[in-house]
Amino acid sequence: RQLLWHDLSTFYPGSKPWLIGGDFNTISKPSKKCGGRPYSNKSMDHFNSFIANSILLEISFLGDQYTWGNNNAGPKRICLRLDRLLSNLVGSLAFLNLKVVHKPIILSDHCPIVAISP
């Protein structure tokens, strides 16, 4: 994924609003995961470096904190927060009231994420 973070950083628009979102297929910290084996610190470090180097902020969300699940229950259940919306400071100022809503998981192992700006 390091190549992905590098490629995405080349799109940084400078002084223009930038929103980037979807399934990043990694988490930012251990608390963004429940169940299963411990997550790779290396993967989190690369993702967090991309966020910090691109000076991105995470848009706040409403709903369940986890956006992916393995559809198991009990001790075999694994949940992660893989999907999110990030913005540069200019984007955050341009869309001050922007929120992300995590809808219930229905047809996929990911929940739909919807950006709303009242």
pLDDT reading at 14 higher than 90:
no
Every domain of the chain and the residues it spans: 2-116
Sheet of strand 56-58: strand arrangement:
19-23, 83-88, 56-58
Give the length of the chain.
118
pLDDT in tens, 18-42: 999 999 999 999 999 999 998 889 9
Retrieve residue 39's tokens: 């997550």
pLDDT-derived band at 51, boundaries 50, 70, 90: very high
Q: Please name the fold of domain 2-116.
A: Deoxyribonuclease I; Chain A (3.60.10)
Which residues, other chains included, contact 7 with Cβ-Cβ below 8 Å and sequence gap of 6+?
A: none
Distance of CA 87 to the CA centre of its chain: 11
pLDDT reading at 118 higher than 90:
no
* Segment 59-71 mean pLDDT: 96
| pTM exceeding the 0.85 threshold for the entire prediction | yes
* Segment 47-53 mean pLDDT: 95
pLDDT reading at 13 higher than 90:
no
* Strand 19-23 versus strand 83-88 pairing type: antiparallel
Mean pLDDT over each residue of the chain, to the nearest integer: 94
